[in-house]
Structures are given as C-alpha cells and as structure tokens.
C-alpha cells in the first residue's frame, strides 16, 4: 500500500540516521539495481522528502522520477551529487550539514600536509620493512614550517585550515571566485599564479560542475617538481589523470589525497608511490563529528516535516 508524504532513504546512511528515519518516519529505502524501477512505479508519487548523503545524492534521473519531491536532506557538507539546478527550478529545498565538520576536515588536511612533506607514512613503512636496519637512515624530507601555502577555496573549511597553518609560520595566500572581505590572507585572483607562488596547494573548494577539473596540468606544472598538492575537497576538482602523470614523472614532488574521481577506485599508479598519501575519504570521520552531522541531518528532516523550513538550507 502506498504511503502518502513518504520519506525516502537514498543510498547508505550512518546507522544512527538510518535507524531514526525508519523508526520515526517509516522511511522507504530505494533499492539498488533491478528492483528500482518497480519500486519507483509503486512509490514515486508518494515521496516528498529524500534523505541522502554527499556521496550518493539525488541525481538528475532520480529527481525527475519523483514528481512530488519537495526536499532533499543531505548528510554531509558537499551536495554536488544532487541536481541542485533542477531542485531550484522545481522549488525543491536542499540542506547540508555545514560547520560541524570544519575542524575534523581541517585536521585531516593538516595531517596530510605533515605526512606528505615529512614522509611520516613512508618512514613508518621503512621501519616495518626492516629497511632501517638494512639500508640505514631514512631519506631526508621537506620542512613543513615556513612554507608558502596556497588554499583553493577559503570557505568555512579552508579558513580553519589556514588558521592551523599559521601555527607553522606559513605564508598563506588563497584563490576564490571572489575576494573574502576582511580576510587576513592575500587574495590571488589567478589560480595559475597561486600555484606558481606556492610550495603546497591545498584544495578545499566545493565540488560540482563549476569546479570540475579546476586544477589541471597547467596548475600542477606551475606548482612544480618541488611542490605538493593536498586535496580534502572533492576528487572532481582535480584532473586525476594529469595528477597521476605529474606524480609518476616527478613533475610534482608529492600529494596527500583524501578524495578521488571515482571512489572507491584509486589509480593503481599511485599505490606504488612513496611520495603519495592515500586516505579513504575520511575527512570528517570521527565519532564526534559524524554524531554532530547525524544530529543536524535529523533536525533538518524534523523541522522540514513540521513546518516546511530547513535549519541549514543551500537552496
């Protein structure tokens, strides 16, 4: 039997969120694979709210298949996997979970920064393999303090990253679509120029069509053979093929990557490189932050069902 004003779960969610929306709102779960068409035929017209994550989203085809959709409640700060343009055109509200993950994502960026420049993970492997005993001292690394750091995207997370790097006496510049009023850091209107003047480029920009492959071969070349790239944003912001080529040819000194273009797939060429640190998209992955994200997701859902508004709307 079709339930009116149904809540739909799209993709996997944190157990706390999944349990709550099922218990409190009788949420339906969108099947994967062959069962999806039959499910939508039975339930599409009843669904008014979708609860999803930044990794899954409500894409173009699914949104079109839900004629009475009124809100997309998103677990995560990124929402580039949701068709926001269509949502705006149809008056569909979209929320995310900003602010609560700023610290942990910034901490991850800093961990990658220190790891890549100082070779921490590589040195750990060096010891575990027994190379310290058989080969002598670990090769010299790069100093992490007093570096020229460029931040691509000085938003909520980028600003927290910058403040942390002040403690390392780094010179910080940034590139945005527009200058941030009141920022203490130098604004560089040209991304290519920012790369050219940076020892390390940290990517904290939002994903989506407007930033797709924002950083490509020209920017990586400008960063140079002694430069490093850190990406805690979205894999789509960096041209991954160009990045692999730069790293494997030595045109770039190293990279710290928490995100990839086709997750969870990671280019095999990167696996063998000691100069690259690879993380499984865990920027916000702490008990404290995920609990805060779950709480905000559920508050958005409850408020929307109560009065049609969102605590943290993006549209």
Residue of 281, 287, 288, 302 with catalytic role: 281
Residue 20, judged by CB atoms within 10 A of its CB (0-12, 13-18, 19+), counts as buried
- How far is 310 from 94, CA to CA, in rounded Å? 8
The helix/strand/coil state of 84 is helix
Tokens of 228: 């490093």
Q: Is 263 a catalytic residue?
A: yes
Residue of 263, 274, 288, 290 with catalytic role: 263
Q: Is 274 a catalytic residue?
A: no
- How far is 96 from 47, CA to CA, in rounded Å? 19
Termini Cα distance of the chain:
32
Backbone angles phi, psi at 137, to 5 degrees: -70, 150
Query: What are the C-alpha distances in Å from 217 to residues 195, 225, 245, 259, 263?
Result: 11, 13, 9, 18, 21
Q: Is 234 a catalytic residue?
A: yes
| Cβ–Cβ < 8 Å for 88, 103 | no
Residue of 234, 261, 269, 274 with catalytic role: 234
The helix/strand/coil state of 211 is helix
Strand partners, 200: 149, 228
Tokens of 235: 């894999």
Query: Rounded to 10 degrees, what is the CA torsion of 282, 286, 292, 296?
Result: 20
**DSSP 8-state symbol, 313:** B
Residue appearing with tokens 């709102």: 25
DSSP letter string over 103-148?
A: HHHHHHHHHHHHHHHHTHHHHHHHHHTTHHHHH-SPPP----SS-E
* Residues identified as active-site: 234, 263, 281
């Amino acid at each position: 039997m079709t339930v009116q004003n149904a809540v739909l779960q799209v993709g996997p969610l944190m157990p706390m969120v999944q349990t709550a929306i099922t218990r409190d709102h009788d949420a339906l779960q969108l099947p994967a694979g062959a069962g999806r068409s039959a499910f939508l035929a039975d339930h599409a017209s009843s669904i008014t709210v979708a609860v999803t994550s930044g990794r899954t989203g409500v894409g173009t085809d699914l949104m079109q298949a839900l004629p009475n959709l009124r809100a997309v409640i998103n677990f995560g700060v990124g929402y580039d996997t949701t068709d926001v343009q269509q949502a705006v055109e149809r008056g569909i509200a979209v929320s995310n979970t900003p602010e609560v993950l700023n610290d942990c994502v910034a901490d991850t960026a800093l961990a990658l920064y220190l790891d890549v420049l100082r070779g921490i993970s590589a040195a750990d492997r060096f010891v575990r393999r027994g190379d310290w005993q058989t080969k002598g001292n670990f090769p010299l690394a790069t100093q992490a303090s007093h570096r020229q750091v460029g931040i691509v995207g000085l938003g909520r997370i980028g600003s927290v990253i910058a403040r942390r790097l002040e403690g390392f006496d780094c010179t910080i510049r940034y590139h945005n679509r527009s200058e941030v009023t009141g920022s203490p850091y130098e604004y560089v209107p040209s991304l290519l120029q920012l790369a050219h003047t940076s020892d390390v480029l940290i990517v904290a920009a939002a994903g989506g069509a407007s930033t797709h492959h924002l950083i490509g071969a020209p920017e990586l070349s400008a960063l140079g053979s002694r430069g490093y790239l850190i990406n805690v944003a979205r894999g789509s912001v960096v041209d991954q093929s160009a990045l692999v080529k730069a790293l494997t040819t030595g045109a770039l000194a190293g990279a710290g990557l928490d995100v990839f273009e086709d997750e969870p797939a990671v280019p095999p060429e990167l696996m063998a490189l000691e100069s690259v640190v690879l993380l499984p998209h865990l920027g916000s992955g702490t008990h404290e932050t995920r609990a805060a994200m779950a709480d905000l997701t559920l508050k958005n859902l409850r408020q929307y069902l109560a009065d049609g508004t969102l605590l943290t709307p993006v549209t």
